[in-house]
């Protein structure tokens, strides 16, 4: 495949890199990567050994001691060059995202654009690592805080955004003076390899040392666990299921490390009687079926007032029947494949549970066979189902395009109660032209999610805002706003420039 060659990926690849140098041995287990688009074999990757891990960690720790002393704007200049390198490779890298993960080409290109955008954001942030000066109660004293580089930042990313979420963390971390070590998903390692090749060129051009950007490909049960338990990693970002995040949180907390957890979502959109349905229906469909339902911000529940329920149901059935499903590389298609056969099995298991619990399927529900589909077996119809919020299957996240229609009666407080009545708390949305309803939804008595939107869907966040959720979604924030502070250590400083020693709180201590 030409795009693989363009991106520096061979048929067989070493899976460990400290930036410029690459490591890996054929003695360790080999990952065979097949595309969910058509089942074709793309390439293989040799997984990292314990020795490879130790090499990466040693490089990351050693280089941190040097990198933390580089002025932040100079670190930002390196990130600016990375952004330009990504611009030059946007088309092939975005295409590889689609081939390896299965999302549409437009979404693949959008993911690379997201990387470029966070590079731009981080460049600006490199000149704005602000602390604050506070008023001291003691005369001739200055009280202020400042932020220092933290150390080695661990990043464990998921298959559904194989490169963008890494960039959210890595670009901010390096302008903050940290070094990084990245374990991508074993399902999508080729995009990570391609990014590392791009980084290597920038590092070489700037005569920078190994160890700023480290890549290590291996299973979660080995390399992932090794990172979680490693005291040399003061903060680790983990994207994955709530189960994976809980394991990470407990082990990192036991060694007094920090976690940024981006875990499961069970996101809802509320439609009140004052919703603009012409605006709402396209937003709902995209949020529910984009990336074949494999976004943590995918809309999984639609909470609709009884007055408009039947109209909304009919409009969505019509919209679902018009969806074009097929190769994500064709712009005429709306929905591509699930990541693998296991995801297809989980999709059918969820639908069986739904029906056993009393729900009904209004549209979709089939695995698609025939030309263009059966090569991979990963294409399914997006599902529109009628359900109750209390159903066990509705209470959990199924990583597939299944949207549950839930009817509510009475006032908005009833809809908000339904929305909040799940253990996850990532993204949420309301469609209404009523200002009071919108403000109520955004108030302290409204959505309990980390993201709350009005008159847009639950997915498609911009990099300028902090991204993350509450409850079983894990906590912590990535990307924009002041998320950069998470990658630094905060220090409070007091300077006495007088000739006496007054104490705070009026304490007297005379000797």
Q: Which residues are catalytic?
A: 262, 296
DSSP letters for 449-466: SSEEEESS-SS---TTSE
DSSP letters for 352-400: HHHHHTT-EEEE---B--STTTTTT---B--EEEE--TTSHHHHS--SS
3-state secondary structure 62-87: HHHHHHCCCCHHHHHHHHHHHHHHHH
**Phi, psi at 304, each rounded to 5°:** -120, 135
103-119 burial, b if ≥16 CB within 10 A, otherwise e? bbbebbbbbbbbbbbbb
Are 321 and 335 within 8 A, CB to CB? no
Distance CA 401, CA 375 (A): 20
Distance CA 53, CA 23 (A): 10
Are 23 and 52 within 8 A, CB to CB? yes
Distance CA 68, CA 153 (A): 13
Distance CA 26, CA 183 (A): 19
At 144 the three-state DSSP class reads strand
Question: Does residue 508 come out as left (phi exceeding 0), alpha (psi in the -120 to 50 range) or beta?
Answer: beta
DSSP letters for 250-268: HHHHHTT-EEEEE----EE
DSSP letters for 306-332: TTTHHHHHHHHHHHHHT--BS-TTSTT
Distance of CA 257 to the CA centre of its chain: 20
Written as six digits, the tokens of 11 are 């048929």
Measured at the CA of 316, the angle between CA 330 and CA 321, to 5 degrees, comes to 45
Tokens 């993911």: give the residue.
111
At 115 the three-state DSSP class reads helix
Longest dimension (CA), the chain: 91
β-pairing verdict for 424-425 and 470-471: antiparallel
């Amino acid at each position: 495949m030409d795009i693989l060659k363009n991106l520096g990926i061979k048929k067989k690849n070493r899976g460990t890199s400290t930036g410029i140098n690459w490591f890996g041995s054929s003695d360790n287990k080999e990952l065979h990567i097949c595309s969910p688009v058509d089942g074709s074999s793309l390439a293989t990757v040799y997984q990292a050994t314990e020795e490879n891990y130790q090499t990466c960690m040693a490089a990351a720790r050693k280089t941190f001691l040097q990198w933390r002393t580089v002025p932040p704007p100079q670190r930002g200049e390196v990130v600016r060059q990375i952004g330009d390198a990504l611009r030059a490779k946007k088309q092939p890298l975005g295409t590889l995202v689609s081939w390896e993960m299965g999302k549409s080409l437009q979404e693949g290109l959008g993911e690379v654009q997201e990387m470029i955008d966070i590079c731009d954001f981080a460049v600006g942030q490199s000149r704005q690592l602000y602390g604050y000066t506070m008023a001291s109660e003691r005369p001739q004293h200055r009280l202020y805080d400042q932020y220092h580089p933290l150390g080695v930042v661990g990043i464990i990313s998921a298959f559904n955004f194989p490169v963008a979420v890494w960039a959210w963390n890595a670009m901010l971390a390096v302008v903050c003076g940290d070094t990084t070590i990245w374990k991508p998903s074993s399902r999508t390692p080729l995009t990570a390899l391609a990014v590392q090749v791009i980084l290597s060129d920038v590092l070489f051009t700037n005569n920078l040392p190994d160890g700023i950007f480290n890549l290590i490909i291996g299973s979660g049960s080995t390399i992932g666990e090794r990172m979680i338990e490693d005291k040399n990693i003061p903060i680790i970002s983990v994207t994955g299921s709530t189960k994976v995040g809980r394991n990470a949180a407990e082990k990192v907390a036991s060694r007094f490390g920090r976690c940024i957890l981006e875990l499961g979502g069970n996101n809802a959109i509320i439609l009140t009687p004052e919703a603009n349905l012409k605006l709402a229906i396209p937003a709902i469909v995209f949020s529910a079926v984009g990336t074949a339902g494999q976004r943590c911000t995918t809309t999984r529940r639609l909470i609709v007032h009884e007055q408009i329920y039947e109209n909304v149901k009919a409009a969505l059935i019509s919209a679902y029947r018009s969806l074009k499903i097929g190769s994500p590389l064709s712009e005429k298609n709306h929905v591509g494949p699930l990541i693998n056969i296991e995801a297809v099995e989980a999709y059918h298991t969820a639908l069986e549970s739904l029906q056993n619990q009393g729900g009904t399927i209004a549209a979709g529900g089939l695995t698609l066979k025939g030309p263009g589909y059966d090569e991979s077996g990963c294409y399914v119809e997006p599902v529109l189902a009628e359900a109750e919020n209390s159903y066990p299957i509705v209470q959990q996240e199924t990583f597939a395009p299944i949207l549950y229609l839930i009817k509510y009666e009475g006032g908005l407080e009833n809809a908000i109660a339904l929305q909040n009545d799940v253990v996850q708390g990532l993204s949420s949305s309301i469609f209404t032209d009523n200002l009071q309803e919108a403000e109520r939804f955004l108030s302290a008595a409204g959505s309990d999610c980390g993201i709350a939107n009005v008159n847009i869907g639950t997915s498609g966040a911009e990099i300028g805002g902090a991204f993350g959720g509450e409850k079983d979604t894990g906590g912590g924030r990535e990307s924009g706003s002041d998320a950069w502070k998470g990658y630094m250590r905060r220090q409070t400083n007091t300077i006495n420039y007088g000739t006496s020693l007054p104490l705070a709180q009026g304490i007297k201590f005379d000797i």
